[in-house]
Structures are given as structure tokens and as C-alpha cells.
């Protein structure tokens, strides 16, 4: 399968058509952005790590019965995926308070929840990805009630699988963002990526941040953190 015309260039990836109208190639860049694109930079080697990590985690989730868009890793940066119609929601699952949650509710980062939480943001850059509830999601036609039910069920199942996998790597899964899409037959699958750009991952022993917060918060050691989290994954993925 080869790249045909570029359909889209996003903040972290490019999307290409292929000979097969039901398949796309996503190509991961080293570009990094934060705060709705206000902060821009480059994380050297990030595209390769995010591509390979996301694919490894999607293969793991498929093995555990969770449907994804993943088809085949074509190269270090390029992956063949099923074309979906993206449900324009950022689905955020949290196990521990951090980031915007801590800020919004005035709770310390690191507060462990008794059970995982979920929230949705409307994926719309012009509006700054505002929080949206299930009723409003249905009211403006972003998804119907049964699609939301499926998305929630899949998102919590992803959380259980990823939490257990990262724990085996000595890493705590704090929170993460997922995107879901619809195949031609209307079924919902996990799409986009799962990477240190989209997850908060803390070393379980030291609390060290091994994710994009190092870039967002100017903590330094960004590339090293991405390499370290990839190394942990590679050491443990075959047993998962
Ligand atoms: P953004 O659009 O937020 O800048 P990216 O740079 O990651 O994000 O661009 C990738 C785009 O591709 C996103 O808009 C994402 O929703 C979309 N996408 C991810 N997986 C698929 C898929 N399987 N089919 C169609 N679109 C997808
Ligand atoms: N996240 C993401 N893309 C976004 C917003 C959030 O991948 O546009 C991820 C982020 O990496 C974190 C989780 O979702 O793992 C929760 O992010 P939060 O709402 O705390 O927002 P932030 O503090 O990143 O603004």
C-alpha cells in the first residue's frame, strides 16, 4: 500500500489516501504543540516513538478484544489504518487528578480517584475544544446515545488494559485522551493514537513524568523521557 494524495496535515500527524478507499496512511511528525497550538516546538524522534508505541498498544488492545483502526505498521513513521469517520470528541479517562482537572476543581495533582472518571471535549480547535456533556453531544448531533454508550464502555475497557500493562512496566497511567471513529458499517472503533503525547505516564517509584508534560511545562529532558517510556514498553510488551 502506498501514499497517494495528502488529505490532511494536523498538529502531530499527516494523513494520506491510499489505493484502497477504505484505508489511510498516517504519518507521525516530530512537531509538538500545547495549549491549543499556542506553544510550538519539536521533539526529536517523537514521531517514530509515537508511531511504534501507538501501534504496539493498539495490537495489545485488539488482542484483548477492543476494536481499533490499526491495520499494519509500514515504517518507523507510517501506519496503515482503517479510514473512519471521526466522532469529534476527545474522550478523556482519568485515574488520578492532574492537568486541567486539578486546575478546574482546585485539587492537588496526584489525588488518586476511587474509580476512573470520563469526560468529553468537543474536538473543535476554533472553540478551544470545550468540555461537553452527553446531552449536548446528542443535541448537536456529534453522536447518538447508543454510540456514546459504546464509546464509554470501550474507553473504560481500554483504561483497564492499559493500566495493567503500564503497571507491569513500573509506570502509573494517570490519564489519557482517546478518539473513536465509525467504520462504513457504523461500528465504533478506537482511532487516532495512544502515545506519551496523549497519556500522562508517571514512573511508579519516583513519580517522574515520562510524557508530554515535560514539554508543556518546560521541565527539560523531553527526548530522554520519550526514549525511556518506549524502552519500558519494549521490555514488557511481549509478555502482555
Ligand atoms: P489534530 O487534528 O488534532 O491536529 P493530528 O495531527 O494527530 O491531530 O492529526 C491526525 C488527524 O487524523 C486527527 O484529526 C484525527 O482525528 C484523524 N484520524 C485519526 N485516525 C483516523 C482514522 N482512522 N480515520 C480518519 N481520520 C483519523
Ligand atoms: N490530552 C490530549 N489532547 C488534548 C487534551 C488532552 O491528548 O487536546 C490528553 C493529555 O495528554 C492528558 C489527558 O488528555 O493525558 C488529560 O488532559 P487535561 O484535560 O488534563 O488537559 P491539559 O492539562 O493537557 O491541558
- CATH label of the domain that carries residue 12: 3.30.200.20
Based on the domain organization, do 210 and 148 belong to the same domain? Answer: yes
Based on the domain organization, do 201 and 103 belong to the same domain? Answer: yes
Candidates 154, 155, 120; CA nearest to 136 is 120
**Would you say the CB of residue 86 lies under 6 angstroms from ligand 1?**
yes
Specify the pLDDT at position 36: 86
Based on the domain organization, do 44 and 139 belong to the same domain? Answer: no
In tens digits, the chain (240 residues) has pLDDT values of 899 999 999 999 999 999 999 999 999 999 999 998 899 999 999 999 999 999 999 999 999 999 999 999 999 999 999 999 999 999 999 999 999 999 999 999 999 999 999 999 999 999 999 999 999 999 999 999 999 999 999 999 999 999 999 999 999 999 999 999 999 999 999 999 999 999 999 999 999 999 999 999 999 999 999 999 999 999 999 998
Residue 1 lies in a domain: no
**In whole angstroms, what separates CA 74 from the centre of its chain?**
20
Specify the pLDDT at position 131: 98
Specify the pLDDT at position 223: 98
Residues 99 and 113 sit within 8 Å (Cβ to Cβ): no
Residue 206 lies in a domain: yes
Q: Which residues contact 193 (CB under 8 A, 6 or more apart)?
A: 12, 13, 26, 28, 50, 54
Based on the domain organization, do 68 and 92 belong to the same domain? Answer: no
Q: How many domains does the chain have?
A: 2
Residue 138 lies in a domain: yes
Residue 44 lies in a domain: yes
Based on the domain organization, do 27 and 45 belong to the same domain? Answer: yes
Residues 157 and 228 sit within 8 Å (Cβ to Cβ): no
**Would you say the CB of residue 15 lies under 6 angstroms from ligand 1?**
yes
Specify the pLDDT at position 119: 98
Based on the domain organization, do 59 and 102 belong to the same domain? Answer: no
Residue 226 lies in a domain: yes
Specify the pLDDT at position 118: 98
Specify the pLDDT at position 1: 86
Based on the domain organization, do 168 and 213 belong to the same domain? Answer: yes
Q: What whole-number distance in Å separates Cα of residue 160 and Cα of residue 173?
A: 10
Specify the pLDDT at position 15: 98
CATH number at residue 175: 3.30.470.20
Based on the domain organization, do 41 and 141 belong to the same domain? Answer: no
Specify the pLDDT at position 162: 98
**Would you say the CB of residue 200 lies under 6 angstroms from ligand 2?**
yes
Specify the pLDDT at position 227: 98
What is the number of the ligand 1 atom nearest to the C-alpha of 12? 6
Based on the domain organization, do 119 and 206 belong to the same domain? Answer: yes
Q: Which ligand is nearest to the CA of 178?
A: 2
What is the number of the ligand 2 atom nearest to the C-alpha of 216? 24
- Determine the residue of 1, 7, 8 to mutate for testing ligand 1's pocket, defined as the one with the most ligand atoms within 8 A of the Cβ atom: 8
**Would you say the CB of residue 215 lies under 6 angstroms from ligand 2?**
no
Q: What whole-number distance in Å separates Cα of residue 91 and Cα of residue 71?
A: 22
- Structural domain of residue 70, as residue ranges? 6-82
Q: Which residues contact 58 (CB under 8 A, 6 or more apart)?
A: 68, 69, 70, 190, 194
Residues 177 and 171 sit within 8 Å (Cβ to Cβ): no
Q: Which ligand is nearest to the CA of 125?
A: 1
Based on the domain organization, do 76 and 136 belong to the same domain? Answer: no
Candidates 224, 229, 220; CA nearest to 201 is 229
**Would you say the CB of residue 83 lies under 6 angstroms from ligand 1?**
yes
Based on the domain organization, do 109 and 207 belong to the same domain? Answer: yes
What is the number of the ligand 1 atom nearest to the C-alpha of 84? 24
Q: What whole-number distance in Å separates Cα of residue 221 and Cα of residue 229?
A: 12
Q: Which ligand is nearest to the CA of 85?
A: 1
Residues 179 and 123 sit within 8 Å (Cβ to Cβ): yes
Residue 35 lies in a domain: yes
**Would you say the CB of residue 60 lies under 6 angstroms from ligand 1?**
no
What is this structure's pTM? 0.98
Amino acid at each position: 500500500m502506498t501514499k497517494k494524495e495528502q488529505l490532511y496535515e494536523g498538529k502531530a500527524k499527516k494523513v494520506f489516501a491510499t489505493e484502497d478507499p477504505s484505508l489511510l496512511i498516517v504519518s507521525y511528525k516530530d512537531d509538538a504543540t500545547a495549549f491549543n497550538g499556542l506553544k510550538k516546538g519539536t521533539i526529536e524522534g517523537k514521531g517514530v516513538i509515537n508511531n511504534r508505541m501507538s501501534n504496539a498498544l493498539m495490537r495489545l488492545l485488539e488482542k484483548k478484544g477492543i476494536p481499533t483502526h490499526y491495520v499494519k505498521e509500514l515504517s518507523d513513521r507510517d501506519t496503515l489504518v482503517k479510514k473512519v469517520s471521526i466522532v469529534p470528541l476527545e474522550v478523556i479517562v482519568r485515574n488520578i487528578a492532574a492537568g486541567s482537572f486539578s486546575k478546574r476543581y482546585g485539587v492537588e495533582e496526584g489525588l488518586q480517584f476511587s474509580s476512573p472518571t470520563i469526560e468529553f471535549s468537543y474536538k473543535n480547535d476554533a472553540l478551544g475544544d470545550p468540555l461537553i456533556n452527553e446531552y449536548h453531544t446528542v443535541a448537536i448531533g456529534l453522536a447518538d446515545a447508543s454510540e456514546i454508550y459504546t464509546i464509554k464502555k470501550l474507553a473504560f475497557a481500554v483504561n483497564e488494559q492499559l493500566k495493567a500493562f503500564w503497571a507491569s512496566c513500573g509506570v502509573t497511567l494517570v490519564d489519557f485522551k482517546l478518539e473513536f471513529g465509525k467504520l462504513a458499517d457504523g461500528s465504533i472503533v478506537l482511532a487516532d493514537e495512544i502515545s506519551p503525547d496523549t497519556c500522562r505516564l508517571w514512573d511508579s517509584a519516583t513519580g517522574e513524568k515520562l510524557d508530554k508534560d515535560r514539554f508543556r511545562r518546560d521541565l527539560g529532558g523531553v527526548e530522554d523521557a520519550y526514549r525511556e517510556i518506549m524502552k519500558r514498553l519494549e521490555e514488557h510488551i511481549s509478555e502482555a
